Amino acid sequence: MFQKPNHMCGKRKTLFDRCCSQHQSKRTLFQNESCRSSSSCCTCCDCRSCEADDYYYFSCPAPISFPPFPPVPPSPTLLRVETFQYTTLSDGIKRIYTNDDRYPEYRSTDILNPTTVSYINLFVNGMLQPSSFYEVKEGSLTLLQSAGPVPNRGVPLILQFIRIMTIS
């Protein structure tokens, strides 16, 4: 059982002891409020330490106040997204590809003007490439020297275009 240290009055052996026979047994926390409000419940001591302990350990806790939630931001405008893709296969030799090199059987589009799209991604053999490895102009894709050697013959090159627009 919990033994209260430094209890001054000595009339209670533990924090939960009360002289009232109705509530003298080991009680759970927060039950003393009903005892204190009952006229049939006696109080065996006037010790300020006991009163403070009773209030702290047995009264219902004060409601905890939380800071107000931040205001909800206005709902964003709906966006519309369009994607396009230019697909070709490497010939193992050249670094510059044009609209003439596209594969229409893969529903490939022309190489779009970079200023008309939001994002451009290049995938070589399915792997996303850093933008520092290629340059895009309307109608042409150039694999830069920093990309390393030219991809092997038959390796797919997929240039993805993403256009994000607001719906008005």
Residue 42: its pLDDT value, please? 44
Q: What is the CATH number of domain 79-166?
A: 2.60.40
How many Å apart are CA 96 and CA 55, to the nearest integer?
82
Is residue 42 within 8 Å of 20, Cβ to Cβ?
yes
Summarize the confidence of residues 119-144 as an average pLDDT: 96
Q: Checking phi first, is residue 34 left (phi over 0); if not, alpha (psi -120 to 50) or beta?
A: alpha
Residue partners of 124: CB distance under 8 A and separation at least 6: 90, 147, 151, 155, 156, 157
Does pLDDT of 139 surpass 80? yes
Residue 49: its pLDDT value, please? 54
* Domain boundaries for CATH 2.60.40 within the chain: 79-166
Does pLDDT of 162 surpass 90? yes
Q: Could you tell me which of 85, 147, 77, 142 has the C-alpha nearest to residue 117?
A: 85
- Stated length of the chain: 168
Task: Compute CA 122 distance to the chain's CA centroid, rounded to the nearest angstrom.
Answer: 29
pTM above 0.75, yes or no: no
Tens digits of residue pLDDT in 29-74: 334 444 444 444 444 455 555 555 555 454 444 556 667 777 777 7
Does pLDDT of 154 surpass 90? yes
The beta-strand segments (E) located in the chain are 79-89, 96-98, 119-124, 127-129, 134-137, 140-143, 156-166
* Main-chain phi, psi angles of 156, to 5 degrees: -70, 140
